[in-house]
Amino acid sequence: MSNNFETGHKETIIEKIKEAEELAKSIFKTNVKQELFELEQKKINNSHYLEMLLKLLASTINSYDNLKNYYKASNEQFAFLKSDYPEKLTDEDRLDFIAMIFASYLDFEATTKEEIETKLEVFNQLENIDNIVLETRLLELKCIEYKKVWAFIESKADALEESKSQPQQSGTKKPDEVKKELHNNIFKDDAFEIWQSMFEKFEIIASKRTDIDFMFQVMKYNNLIYKNIGLKDIKDWINTVYEISFEKIRYTDPKSTANEKRLIIYKDIISK
C-alpha cells in the first residue's frame, strides 16, 4: 500500500477514480458495438435477435447488480443524496464523497476482528481501485446503453403497430407535421411544440435533470401529455429521441417555490 493511501489522501483516490472512469467512458461504446455485432452475426431472424438482445441486457444488469465494492456502494449512496439536492451537488461532490468514504475507513482504529477485516478489505480495494472502478463503471454504462437500444427498438415496434392500426392518408406531409405525428403517442394535439420550446429554452443536457422533471410534470398537470405516460415512459422516449442518457426522471411539484422561474418560462411559452 502506498503512503498516499495509508495517510488517506483524498486527492490521490479522486485522481485514480477519475482516470478509471474516463477510461471506461472511452471504451464502453466499442464494447457495446462489438457485442451487438456478435449478436447480428448469430441471429436467425429479427425475433431471435431481440431474444438475444434481451438476454444480453439481463446478463449485463445482473453482472452489475452482483458487483460488491465500496466504490459502487458510495456512488449509489451519493445518487440517493443528490435526488434531494439535484441542483446543489456536482460531480466533484460525488468524487469527494467517494474518496471521503474510503478515507474514513483508513482513518479509524480497528480493534475488533470484524473491523480489522473491513479495513483490510478497503486497503485491498484501494490497491486495485483502477480495475474496480473500470469494471463497475463499464458495466453501468453498458446497462444504460443497452436499455436505450431496447427502448429504441420497442418504440419503433410500437410506432409500426400504431401505423398499421391507423387508416392511410393521402398527400405528402410537411416535415413539421411528420414531427408532430411521430410524437402524438406522448403529447396531445400540438403540445410537442411547447415541450420542444422548453427543451431549447432550458438548453437541456444530461446533467440538467431537474428541468426535465419540471417539463414533464407541468405538462402532465396541464393535461398536455396522455395520462398513461409515466416517468419511465418519458425517460425512455427522451433517451431515444434526443440521444441523452437520463437514468431517471423524478417527481417535482411544478408549482413549488423551487420551480418558480421555470413556471414563468412555461407560462411565457404557452402564451405565445
For the stretch 196-218, pLDDT in tens is 888 888 887 766 678 888 999 99
Confidence of residue 57 (pLDDT cuts 50, 70, 90): confident
Confidence of residue 25 (pLDDT cuts 50, 70, 90): very high
Select the more confidently predicted residue: 33 or 162: 33
92 and 26, same domain (yes or no): yes
Domain count, the chain: 2
* Percent of the chain surpassing pLDDT 90: 25
For the stretch 2-14, pLDDT in tens is 444 444 478 888 9
26 and 131, same domain (yes or no): yes
Kindly state whether residue 142 falls inside one of the protein's structural domains. Answer: yes
* Pairs from 196-204 (Cβ < 8 Å, separation ≥ 24): 197/269, 198/265, 198/266, 198/269, 199/242, 201/265, 201/269, 202/262, 202/265, 204/242, 204/244
Domain limit, last residue, from 98, 122, 155: 155
Residue 125 neighbours by CB under 8 Å, 6+ apart: 69, 70, 71, 102, 132
51 and 96, same domain (yes or no): yes
Kindly state whether residue 160 falls inside one of the protein's structural domains. Answer: no
67 and 189, same domain (yes or no): no
Kindly state whether residue 180 falls inside one of the protein's structural domains. Answer: yes
Domain containing residue 185: 170-270
Kindly state whether residue 191 falls inside one of the protein's structural domains. Answer: yes
Domain limit, last residue, from 122, 155, 188: 155
Residue 184 neighbours by CB under 8 Å, 6+ apart: 192
